[in-house]
């Protein structure tokens, strides 16, 4: 019995630290003074490399959403390299007014906290643990999963939009339950969120909505929506 409970605890812990949970509202607020005084943002360029994408294609609905997913992947490079995205990542401020992210460190390295400028640098550098040596690249290896009927009662199939195992895999898993209704900009937000885990930005136990994956993913989705509406 103890062994079973331990397995359940480990599974829940993994979902907590590297997943996107349904229904978490992410308020975006910015330091307008910073935005006004930093009009030009100079950083390196990051390329998006779609390496392996698996998407269900059994019906017209699947094909429509697959086209949206492919469009999301295609637009991410423009989003991440846009001045709008960079300024918002740099000027983001938490609910306490500080221009910092919650849990602003990589992996479990609490001794080395990151400023917003350093967070942006980590993103543009694109140093994924399980894809060493591919700097300044966002490598996308993803699987949009349809849960079988015997899996649908499980936590992942019911509640989790996407997940990764950043210390052991470079794959991103998305939940078809949500993706079957997602617009392109929502897919952008979730893809970026999950990819940020692969860089070492994990979730903590407090104020997840103010952490790098949720905030930066939301910013990416917001910028993507603006671009798609132009």
- Residue by residue, DSSP assigns 2-57 as HHHHHHHHHHHHHHHHSEEETT------B-HHHHHH---------EEEEEEEE---
The Cα 103–Cα 222 span in angstroms is: 22
pLDDT, residue 57, reads 86
Residue closest to 164 by CA, chosen among 191, 185, 186, 137:
191
pLDDT, residue 12, reads 34
- Tens-digit pLDDT profile for the chain (230 aa)? 433 333 323 333 333 457 677 778 899 999 988 866 665 677 799 999 999 999 998 899 999 999 999 999 999 999 999 999 999 999 999 999 999 999 999 999 999 999 999 999 999 999 999 999 999 999 999 999 999 988 889 999 999 999 999 999 999 999 999 999 999 999 999 999 999 999 999 999 889 999 999 999 999 999 999 999 98
* Edge-to-edge strands, sheet with 160-164: 19-21, 160-164, 172-175, 137-145, 47-54
The pairing of beta strand 47-54 with beta strand 172-175: unpaired
pLDDT, residue 5, reads 34
What residue numbers bound the domain in which 19 lies?
2-229
Please give the tally of structural domains in the chain: 1
Strand segments, DSSP code E, in the chain are 19-21, 47-54, 137-145, 160-164, 172-175
Q: Which two tokens stand for residue 69?
A: 């997913």
Sign, CA dihedral 199-69-162-81, equals: positive
pLDDT, residue 104, reads 97
The Cα 54–Cα 141 span in angstroms is: 8
pLDDT, residue 35, reads 67
Helix crossing, 60-80 with 212-229: angle to 10°?
100
In three-state secondary structure terms, 30 is strand
pLDDT, residue 17, reads 54
């Amino acid at each position: 019995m103890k062994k079973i409970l331990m397995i359940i605890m480990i599974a829940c812990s993994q979902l907590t630290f590297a997943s996107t949970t349904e229904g978490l509202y992410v308020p975006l607020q910015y330091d307008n003074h910073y935005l006004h005084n930093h009009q030009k943002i100079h950083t390196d360029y990051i390329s998006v490399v779609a390496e392996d994408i698996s998407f269900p294609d059994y019906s017209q609905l699947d094909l429509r959403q697959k086209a949206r997913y492919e469009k999301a992947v295609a637009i991410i490079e423009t989003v991440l390299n846009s001045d709008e995205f960079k300024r918002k990542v740099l000027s983001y401020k938490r609910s306490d007014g500080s221009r910092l992210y919650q849990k602003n460190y990589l992996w479990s390295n609490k001794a080395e906290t990151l400023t917003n400028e350093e967070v942006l640098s980590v993103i543009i550098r694109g140093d994924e643990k399980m894809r060493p040596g591919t700097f300044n690249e966002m490598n996308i290896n993803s699987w949009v999963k349809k849960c079988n009927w015997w899996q649908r009662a499980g936590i992942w199939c019911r509640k989790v939009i996407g997940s990764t195992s950043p210390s052991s895999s470079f794959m991103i898993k998305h939940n078809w339950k949500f993706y079957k209704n997602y617009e392109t900009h929502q897919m952008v937000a979730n893809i970026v969120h999950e990819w940020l885990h692969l860089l070492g930005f994990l979730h903590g136990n407090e104020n997840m909505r103010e952490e790098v994956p949720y905030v930066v993913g939301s910013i990416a989705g917001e910028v993507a929506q603006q671009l798609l509406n132009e």
